[in-house]
A and B are shown apart, each in its own frame.
Chain A
Amino acid sequence: MAFAAFGHGGGSASAAAPTKKSKVALFLLLPGLIYLGLFFMTPLISLIITSLEVPDGSGVMGSYAYGFAIENYAKVVTEFWPQISHSFGYALIATVGALFISYPLAYFIGVKARRFPLIQGLMLTLVIAPFFISFLLRTFAWKQIFSNESPAVHFLQQVGILGAHDYLVGTPFMVIFGLTYNFIPFMTLPLYSILERLDVRLLEASSDLYASPATTFRKVTLPLTAPGIISGTLLTFIPIAGDYVNASGDFLGGTKTAMIGNVVESRFLVLNDYPTASALSVLLMGVILLLVGFYAKRSGTEDLL
């Protein structure tokens, strides 16, 4: 259980037990843990403090004073409700989309292609291939492929799927399309790693007991591969909910598709409105932690690692 872990408290200090081994462990752990303390934990705390700040009255842009403005949160929820709902809505649809695309693919590579190691290796390499070309170039390529003057859009307009003055870039559909595409490998890999170890004799046993293929899938394959689905879903949903490249107006999105990340970026880097950006980030982090906590409760932190 992830959060029971907090109960132990004390950090690495308690690792300083008198045995020789613990001293070595402390020496190995401390540098990395101090680093994470300084540049991971402290920034999160700094974010929470900033999210509660108030304008300092000087009227200078970007200057704020310490405060305890809980109402900042209420303000961002009401003001940015569309963007918040886009983030989680798009992330949900794209994660489900990635799962439907990835599961059969991972099943084929992990189970069906077992007897052909060469094909298995090749397909696996191709699944991770998108990682090796810049995320931004990939996304921009989709923008070009589906740009307003592109043959693809002309074709869709001609067959009537799109109206004569409808385009794809700037629509929620296009943003979700891009998000799904970009995060498919994050879904496929954990699914593959669990399907690769799936014992096909269990499927044979089920079918020997007169289960239909559908029943076998539902009662045997699916429960056995649930851990892969869980980690794949987390690995996909989390980065999608925080993404702002796909939804950006320079890439696949438009003014009506902005997500939490877009607001955080513009508030933080352009408008110097740090409390708003921080409150939104803390909110996003909170929802993700709830989700992770829910999953971790079911499978344990060791499994997550």
Chain B
Amino acid sequence: MRRFSLGRYTLPVYSVIAIVYLMIPIAYTFVFSFNDSLKTNLIWRGFTFDKWLNVCQQQGVCEAFGNSILIGVISTILATTLGTMIAIALVRYRFKARSFVSLLIFLPMATPEVVLGAGLASQFFSMGAAKGIATIIIAHVMFCMSFVVVTVKARVASLDPALEEAGRDLYGSPAQVFWKITFPLLMPGILSAALLSFALSFDDFIITNFNSGPAMTFPKYVYTAAARGIPAEANVVGSAVFLLAIAIVVTVQVRGSVKAKRLAKR
């Protein structure tokens, strides 16, 4: 084994440096959410909890955050439903246009956001549709769906068809088999797809910027504020979301590894 190592310590040290590098802007954002700043948040002026306690006092931050949550939740529900249906069809059924469907699912992921954004905006423009929260949701469902398909597809593929057969043998109706066996077994895949979809929607800026009109989302708020300097309250929202997301990921991972151990024993 040792003969493959690039020297014993080079690789671990390199990896730690790379991870530290990845953490620098996160740490910076977090630290500066405690800055006792005035309008902008450029220079360290002392430690305070004020911005965490009075986030909403900064004009617009909380409205933008609320909009982002609303858009994220609705887009996630729609994208996860549509994407899960496609994923089941792709794995479980044989049909002629398979490669066409695969391609149609793959293409949105391979299209640069600026193209997706400008394309939809030009369509809304030619339709005369007013841009706002509804058009943002339409856009988000579109680009989240493919990621849902990919995530859920892996889960469907790993599902043992014998379990569903057993359900049918015991006189379960197709609906019963689906809701009592297939759906619960797919749940972990659907949940992680939903989380991914929410994260993508919540952090999307480029596509949103083209299709939002006057509506504000959190990333758009940050982009607009950047010209004058981003207020510390934005750092508070960013840091809070970060901590929450990490907590969710760690919980899912710990539960997953416990499950994996149980399965490994069989």
Residues of A within 8 A of B (CB): 2, 4-6, 8-15, 17, 21-22, 24-26, 28-29, 31-33, 35-36, 39-44, 46-47, 50, 101-102, 104-105, 107-109, 112, 117, 121, 123, 125-142, 144-145, 147, 181, 184-185, 200, 203-204, 207, 213, 216, 234, 238-239, 241-245, 248, 250-251, 260-261, 264-265, 268-269, 274, 277-278, 281-282, 284-285, 288-289, 292, 301-302, 304-305
Give the bracket for the number of chain B residues in contact with chain A.
Answer: 35 or more
Inter-chain CA distance A43–B230, complex, in Å, is 33
What distance in Å separates the Cβ of B160 from its nearest Cβ neighbour in chain A? Answer: 19
Q: Which one of A32, A35, A46, A141 contacts B123 once the chains associate, using CB atoms below 8 Å?
A: A46
| Best-buried of B118, B125, B238 by chain A (most CB within 10 Å) | B118
B4 and A268 within 8 A (CB): no
**Across the two chains, which residue of chain A brings its CB closest to B244?**
A132
Instruction: Tell me the nearest residue of chain B to A267, going by C-beta.
Output: B118
Across the interface, do B119 and A281 meet the contact criterion of CB distance under 8 Å?
Answer: yes
Q: Roughly how many angstroms separate A84 CA and B115 CA in the complex, as a whole number?
A: 14
- B59 is an interface residue with CB less than 8 A from chain A: no
Interface of B is mostly: helix
Q: Which chain B residue has the least Cβ–Cβ distance from A216?
A: B4
Q: Which residues of B contact A234 (CB under 8 A)?
A: 110
CB pair A284–B114 under 8 Å, yes or no, is yes
Residues of B participating in the A interface, judged by any CB pair closer than 8 Å: 1, 3-6, 11-12, 14-15, 18-19, 21-26, 28-29, 32, 42, 82-83, 85-86, 88-89, 92-97, 99-108, 110-116, 118-123, 125-126, 138-139, 141-142, 145, 149-150, 153, 199, 203, 205-206, 209-210, 218-219, 222-223, 226-227, 230, 234-235, 238-239, 241-242, 245-246, 249-250, 253, 257
Q: Which residues of chain B are within 8 angstroms of A185 by Cβ–Cβ distance? A: 22
Q: Say whether, besides A35-B141, A46-B126, A136-B226, A127 and B93 are in contact (CB < 8 Å).
A: no
Report the minimum CB–CB distance from A98 to chain B (whole Å): 11
Cβ-defined contact, B138 with A39, below 8 A = yes
Name the B residues within 8 Å of A112 (CB-CB).
5, 11-12
Set B19, B32, B141: member contacting A127, Cβ < 8 A: B19
